């Protein structure tokens, strides 16, 4: 009979010590904390809500000119300095009186006089610059001057423009209209998916353009445009595009009325 003696196995496990720097310890702690935060269903509500809707919209407004400027030139050339002054003054008095008859304020009438010697004669030019708020009064006054005065008086073509305050108001209207359109657009989109739009979170202006003329990029129509064409070319259009982010909240449920 053969006998076997039991064998014994000896094993030793060496533990390796790992030293972490303060920065590594902080990073590891943050990773563990982030994982715990992500797995915690009660912590999700503290994050910034992703229930938002982002839209872009354009607001565009146009306005014809509210001012026109006319320049009247009075020219005379005489051998005697007093004669040239008298000649210009008579016509100047008639021009100014014509404008005053149209209820033009004194502050809206500017007069500039220039005299020089030209080939041994006295040459005098007087400019009368008038600003009109009423285009019909401008037409009446200019037509009367052309009819009553001789070629020594030249009536210029009306120049149409906007007052500075008018343009500023127009720009504000375009900005507000773009925001209004953005809100309306967001409400229509949200309603389609049975949601409701809350308060705006972010409003950003992406583009702002401004041009003269009813068609962008058109500077003139012809060499001598009509009065209506001149007004159309002086019409200012302001376009503003904005991007707006709104909160998106669930639509409030209401009980259906029973039949």
Task: Kindly indicate the confidence band of residue 223, based on its pLDDT and cuts at 50, 70 and 90.
Answer: low
For the chain, which domains are there? 52-64+164-250 (3.30.110.170), 67-161 (3.30.70.120)
As a whole number, the mean pLDDT across the chain is: 81
Q: CB atoms < 10 A from the CB of 23, how many?
A: 8
Contact in structure between 56 and 182 (CB atoms under 8 Å): yes
pLDDT tens, position by position, 50-85: 789 999 999 999 999 999 999 999 999 999 999 999
Q: What's the pLDDT at 120? A: 87
- Percentage of the chain lying above the pLDDT 70 cut: 73
Does the pLDDT of residue 18 top 80, yes or no? Answer: no
pTM for this entry: 0.67
Phi-psi region of 193 (alpha: psi -120 to 50; beta: other; left: phi over 0): alpha
The structure tokens listed for 64 are 């014809």
Contact in structure between 214 and 232 (CB atoms under 8 Å): yes
Angle at 94 between CA 90 and CA 99, to 5 degrees: 150
Residues in contact with 55: Cβ distance below 8 Å, sequence separation at least 6, in sequence order: 182, 185, 186, 189, 243, 244, 246
Cα–Cα distances in angstroms (integers) from residue 113 to residues 84, 86, 116, 152, 154, in the given order: 12, 13, 10, 15, 15
Q: What's the pLDDT at 232? A: 92
pLDDT tens, position by position, 109-151: 999 999 999 888 999 999 999 999 999 999 999 999 999 999 9
Task: Kindly indicate the confidence band of residue 255, based on its pLDDT and cuts at 50, 70 and 90.
Answer: low
């Amino acid at each position: 009979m053969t006998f076997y003696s039991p064998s014994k196995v000896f094993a030793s496990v060496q533990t390796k010590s790992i030293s972490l720097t303060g920065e590594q310890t902080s990073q590891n702690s943050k990773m563990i904390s982030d994982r715990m935060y992500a797995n915690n269903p009660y912590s999700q509500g503290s994050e910034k809500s992703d229930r938002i809707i982002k839209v872009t919209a354009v607001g565009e407004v146009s306005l014809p000119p509210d001012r026109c400027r006319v320049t009247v030139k009075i020219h005379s050339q005489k051998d005697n300095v007093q004669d040239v002054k008298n000649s210009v003054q008579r016509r100047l008095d008639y021009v100014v009186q014509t404008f005053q008859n149209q209820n033009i304020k004194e502050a809206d009438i500017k007069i500039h006089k220039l005299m020089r010697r030209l080939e041994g004669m006295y040459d005098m030019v007087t400019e009368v610059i008038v600003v009109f708020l009423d285009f019909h009064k401008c037409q009446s006054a200019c037509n009367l001057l052309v009819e009553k005065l001789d070629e020594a008086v030249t009536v210029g073509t009306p120049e149409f423009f906007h007052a500075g305050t008018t343009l500023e108001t127009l720009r504000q209207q375009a900005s507000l209209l773009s925001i209004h359109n953005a809100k309306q657009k967001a409400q229509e989109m949200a309603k389609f998916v049975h949601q409701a739009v809350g308060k705006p979170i972010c409003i950003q202006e992406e583009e702002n353009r401004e041009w003269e003329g009813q068609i962008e990029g058109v500077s003139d129509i012809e060499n001598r445009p009509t009065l209506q064409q001149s007004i159309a070319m002086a019409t200012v259009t302001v376009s503003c595009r904005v991007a707006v982010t709104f909160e998106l909240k669930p639509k409030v449920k209401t009980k259906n009325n029973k039949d």
